[in-house]
Structures are given as C-alpha cells and as structure tokens.
Amino acid sequence: MIAVGGGKLHGPYLVDLDLVRVLGLNPDVLVIGSGVAGLSAALEAAKSQSVLVLTKKLAADSGTRDAQGGIAAALTEDDSPEDHFRDTMEAGVGLCDETAVRKLVTEGVERVREIIALGANFDVEENGNYDLTREGAHSRRRILHASGDATGRELEQVLIAAVQADPNIVVMENRPVVDLLHHEGTCYGAVALDAENRSFIKVNAKATVLSTGGTGQLYRETTNPEVITGDGIAMAFRAGMEIADAEFVQFHPTTLYIAGAKRFLISESVRGEGAQLVDSDGVRFMPDIHPQAELAPRDVVSQAIIDRMRETQSPSVFLDLRHLDPEYVFGRFPNVASICDQYQIDIARELIPVRPSAHYMMGGVLTDLDGRTNVARLLACGEVACTGVHGANRLASNSLLEGLVFGRSAGEAAGETAAGANGAFPLRTIASGVERRNVPIDIDDMAMSLKSVMWRSAGIFRSGDDLAETLRELAYWGKYVLSESFDRPDGLVLQNMLTVAQLIVRGALLRRESRGAHHRSDFPERDDEGFARRIVQTIGDFGDAGAEPASAAGDEDSP
C-alpha cells in the first residue's frame, strides 16, 4: 500500500480472497478481454492449450467493434513495409521502438492475409482490387476497410466466430475481472465478479493474457464504448507491473458534437476521401497550419480545432463534404450517414459539427515483443499493453493491426508458458490491503467529476499547475473511494478509473516537454535531451502528490 498525497493507490487486492469461490474451470491459459488482440491471443494459445476468455460484458462489447476507419498494411506493389515503417516512426515523434515497429509492419501483412482467409470481407473496387483509403500521416493509400466504415465490426465478427468454433476455447461473458492473482512476482490467474449473484469467482491459470483495452472513458468527451475504463492497467499496476507512457493519450479530432447525442466517431477516412474542416464562419483553416492540411497527425489537427473553437467562441468546428459526389459519400460512409441522419443531418449537403474526443492510449503495461511483462506468467497485448510501437502518437489505423500482430505473439508465448508451468497454485486466502470505511458514495457523480477534471486538466492542452492540482484532487478522492469494498461493477470500475487517472496525470506532470499527443503549455517545445525516453511507473514510485516529482527534470534513472 502506498501513499499519494494523503490518498492511497492500494495493493495487492480489491477483495479478500477468503470471500471468493473457486470457479470449476482451471484453464491452461486465461485471456481477459475479447477485442481483436484478446481473441487473436486466444486462437493462437488454443493450438496447444485449453483457453478461457472472460469478458466484462458481452464478447462483442469491445473497442474493436467501434473501429471505423480500417486496418493499415502494405499490400500493394507501390507500397512497402519500409514505407509503412517510416510513416509510423514519424508519427511516433522519436519515441517508437524500432524493433516493435518493424515487427508490426512486416508481420502485419501476413496477419491481414490470415484474417482474410478466416473470412474477413474488405471492400474492393470494380476491378477486384482492394479499395484502399488514406488517413492522417500516411504517405499513401494503404488502409483496408469493410462495409465502408465498419472495419472493426467485421474483424470482430470473424474472430468471435473462429473462437466459438474452437473446441479448446470457452468464453464466459459478463464476468468483469477485478484483480490478478499474484504471489512473489508470479501470476496465477484472476478474480472475477459474478455481477448477477454479487459474488467473486477465482480462476486459476498457468498463463494469463491481459487484453482489456484502453482508458477512453476516463474523459468526458470520448469515442470509446462504456466498457473501456482502464481496468487492465489498474489491475496490472496493483500486481506490480510496470506502466509506461501513461501520459500519451490520443485525441481523435472529429467526433459528432450535438447536444444530447453520443460522441460518435467520424472516421479519419472521411477526411482521407476529401472532407474539409471549416470553422463556424465557414473558413477552412488546416492548410494554414500544416502541409498535410486535414491529414496532418491527429495531435496537430486536434490542437488546431480547439484553438479555432476558442477563437470563434464556438462549441465545435465542422466537416464539409458538400463538394464531394453525394452517391459516393453515402456509399462509402453508410454508418456515418445513418448516425447523422438520426439527427437530421444530410452529410452530403450539410455541415457535420465535430470536436475532438479521447480516443486511444499509447501507453500501458510495459511488455516485450511477445507480450511478456515483469510479472512471470502474465502477458499483455493490444491497447492495454505498451510495446513502444506507437511512441508518442499512434499512426491512424495501426491499432487493429497491432491487435492481430501482437495478440498472436502473446497467445503463442502464453501457450509456451502454460506448457512449461506446473499446476500448483499457492494462493488460497490473502487478505486485501484495503481499509473498509463504508462511506456512502454517489458512484455516478464521482465518475462524472473524474471525467470532467481529466478532460479539463489532462486533455489536449496541459499545464504543470493544473496537473499538480488535479493530482492532489484525485488523491483526495482516493482517500475514501479506494478504501471501500464494492461488490458491484460500477464501484470497482470507479476505483480502477481513479488509479489510472493518477498514472496519466503523474506521467504528464513528469514529462516537461511537448511531444506527440502530450502538449504542455508551460513546456511547449520538444526536448530530446531530457525526454527522448519512456516514463515508467510502478506501485512503489508514488510520493506526495503536492511535491515536485524528483524525476521531472529528466533523470535517466528516474521512472
């Protein structure tokens, strides 16, 4: 248990294991999460081991389902993995791990061909060639898409069908995982919540793969589904895992902004096909800001939109597709057209109000290229993991590819780990490190307060003073929220959100520069001498949130 400015980021458990019943399944490999990375890992591990997949809600409820734009891969003769490598490295602003990027762009081509062989149907032109599009910071068209703007849904359906057909895989839905079972640096499975019966279940496993997605729901404005609340990062942190690059949260520039409407993602491929950004006066502004105009890196476009909203005192800017052929617009973007039509917006003839929202987490659980972590028998893949492949800013449409490539590698490593592990599970009863105070808490109100302060102080623009004050505020909330014992999902999720919020804010406070998705108004320049490196946090690193972090100046030996 550690102190954070009077609050506590606690460990090792949220629940007392003597209150936990043992599930009648003891898989060789436990996979937590059912997005593209988790399902890819499950399929690979199942080639040699029994696999159990636990999901927070339904198997289809993941960030993968909402991925519209597509999946990037160098499949054509005029493209190459080397070109894809260069674009990814440039987008990552000096922090990408070169080996990880080469693995992504080279193995990714084969992984895409495999998903096609499984049944994925990507859009094709009349001549039978794939209908490729271009997105921000890509030097050429290399983005495959399905049903116009429903690529994630297509991949998810194909992978779920493959998992359901595999006799070595069992999927249990509506079993949100609460804690990882760990002892003396080794993971032995997890504790999940049976929400219907308000009881906890224990799953022992010889290898565990964490694939729970990112952190989008920590922000008031987000493109992410409600299940994406940083749970995996929080569990990993409590288990002693290293969390890297937590400060790098990518904000998607264009989400639908209408009062009362869900913040629906307007795919970057809309701009890739020629849509322009205009302000409330109808003025196109991106050509004056970046040579790539609307297809500049996402951080550049997001910052430009916020600046223009301030200048015009408007709650949004607008996407303009009116100069494009209406038949093509409706055929290429049927999902976007359908959503906008619900609010009586004809996307071919009217402006679409948009503004940025939290979208993707570049940081996460520090892993090697096979998903292995600093905790034995515990692996991570997908958005919850940090291989260094995205650096300070993810290249558009690399995330689905990452899930396929690194999910498969993690599954293979998990299978090998399980095959070499004995079946002894030493954990029987371990008391939680949490003090129980039974303070009445309005969970919904607290969650909204957290999202608001994160959007305000740890969003697109940040400053040291605001971050320090936010860290103190989060720590104060943690005094009474993290000391409670919940047996309902929303309470457990709130505790995870508070934990991860502090990791993000602390990382942002430590990084005294602006780079990629992280912009500090008090340190607006990139500083390679001090910060061309990762900031890694562990449960032992936290001190007084009100004090200046010792490592803020860029000490190479500091987290």
Q: Is the dihedral of CA 541, 545, 549, 552 positive or negative?
A: positive
156 occurs within a structural domain: no
Number of domains in the chain: 2
74-80's contacts with Cβ under 8 Å and 24+ in sequence apart are: 74/105, 74/109, 74/142, 75/109, 75/112, 75/130, 75/132, 75/142, 75/144, 76/130, 76/132, 76/142, 78/140, 79/140, 79/142
Omega within 30 of 0 (cis) for the link into 334: no
* Cα distances (angstroms) measured from residue 215 to each of 363, 476, 493: 10, 21, 11
Question: Does residue 17 form part of some domain?
Answer: no
Look at residue 481 and tell me if it is in a domain. Answer: yes
Rounded-to-integer distance, Cα 12 and Cα 450, Å? 23
Contact 72, 84 (CB under 8 A): yes
CATH number assigned to the domain comprising residue 534: 1.20.58.100
Q: What is the maximum span of the chain, computed from C-alpha positions, in angstroms?
A: 68
Strands 385-386 and 364-366: parallel
Within this chain, do residues 350 and 439 fall inside the same structural domain, yes or no? no
Q: Is residue 117 part of a domain?
A: no
Please give the backbone phi and psi of residue 124, each rounded to the nearest 5 degrees, phi first.
-125, 160
Q: What is the pLDDT of residue 66?
A: 76
Which of 356, 390, 419 is a domain's end point? 356
Q: What is the CA radius of gyration of the chain?
A: 22
Each residue's pLDDT tens digit, 159-179 = 999 999 999 999 999 999 999
Within-domain flag for 112:
no
Cα 129 → chain centroid: 31
- pTM: predicted TM-score of the whole model, two decimal places: 0.92
450 and 537: one domain?
yes
In tens digits, what is the pLDDT along the chain, a chain of 559 residues? 222 333 356 555 666 666 666 666 789 999 999 999 999 999 999 999 999 999 999 888 888 887 777 999 999 999 999 999 999 999 999 999 999 999 999 999 999 999 999 999 999 998 999 999 888 889 999 999 998 878 999 999 999 999 999 999 999 999 999 999 988 899 999 999 887 777 888 899 999 999 999 999 999 999 999 999 999 999 999 999 999 999 999 999 999 999 878 888 898 889 989 999 999 999 999 999 999 999 888 889 999 999 999 999 999 999 999 999 999 999 999 989 999 999 999 999 999 999 999 999 999 999 999 999 999 999 999 999 999 999 999 998 999 999 999 999 999 999 999 999 988 887 654 555 556 667 789 999 999 999 999 999 999 999 999 999 999 999 999 988 988 878 788 999 999 999 999 999 999 999 999 999 999 999 999 999 999 999 999 988 764 433 344 343 333 333 3
Nearest to 365 by CA among 206, 231, 226, 489: 231
**Residue carrying the six token digits 């934990």:** 499
Domain C-terminal end among 336, 356, 376 = 356
Distance CA 159, CA 39 (A): 6
Domain assignment present for 417 = no
**Which residue type, as a one-letter code, is found at position 346?**
D
The catalytic residue positions are: 298
Cα distance between the two ends of the chain = 18
Tell me, what's the pLDDT at 546? Answer: 36
With beta carbons less than 8 A apart as the criterion, state whether 250 and 214 touch.
no
Left, alpha or beta for 33 (phi > 0: left; psi -120 to 50: alpha)? left
Could you give phi then psi for residue 81, rounded to 5 degrees? -55, -30
Looking at the fold, whether 440 and 541 belong to one and the same domain comes out as: yes
CA dist list (Å): 128 to 122, 154, 230, 321: 11, 19, 41, 27
346 and 455, same domain (yes or no): no
Classify residue 131: in a domain, yes or no: no
Pair (257, 344) in one structural domain: yes
Q: Which are the contacts of 110, defined by CB distance < 8 A and separation ≥ 6?
A: none
**Domain-embedded: residue 281:** yes
Residue 235: CB partners within 8 Å, gap ≥ 6?
177, 178, 179, 180, 190, 210, 212, 496
Of the residues 356, 381, 399, the one at which a domain ends: 356
Q: Which domain holds residue 274?
A: 253-356
> Residue 308 is part of a domain; what is its CATH number?
3.90.700.10
